[in-house]
Structure 1
Amino acid sequence: MTFRHKAQELAGKAKGKAGELTGDEELEGEGQADQVESKVKQAADDVEDAAQAAADRAKGALKRND
């Protein structure tokens, strides 16, 4: 997870809450969309990190077998 994605999630929460408090459904929806987008990006980062870790382990295993 990157700080940028977490910041986007928090901004989305704030935007959604502001929309809720003011009765602005469009703003509330934008906030929810920002949160979802952030969570998808965080999940993609997690997958990328896991794939890199798996590749590093595979390289290490190949070096030990040489």
Structure 2
Amino acid sequence: MITDSSHLTGWVKSSHSGLEANACVEWAPSHAAEAGGVPVRDSKDPHGPALVFDAAAWSAFVAGVKAGELA
């Protein structure tokens, strides 16, 4: 876990977050190598923590979302 994710740049907002720009899940793919996995945070709290998921867990999550398994 990263306790303050505000120093990371290149956050990408989920296209599944709906029309509310402040209610999104974001991830920072450009920092995956340095963080030891993919950092993920709540866009409503840009200075808050980011959870870090390893590549396999992140891939499984993305595949599940795309398949509609997590709707």
**Same fold by TM-score greater than 0.5:** no
Greater C-alpha radius of gyration: 1
Of Structure 1 and Structure 2, the greater helix share is in 1
Of Structure 1 and Structure 2, the greater strand share is in 2
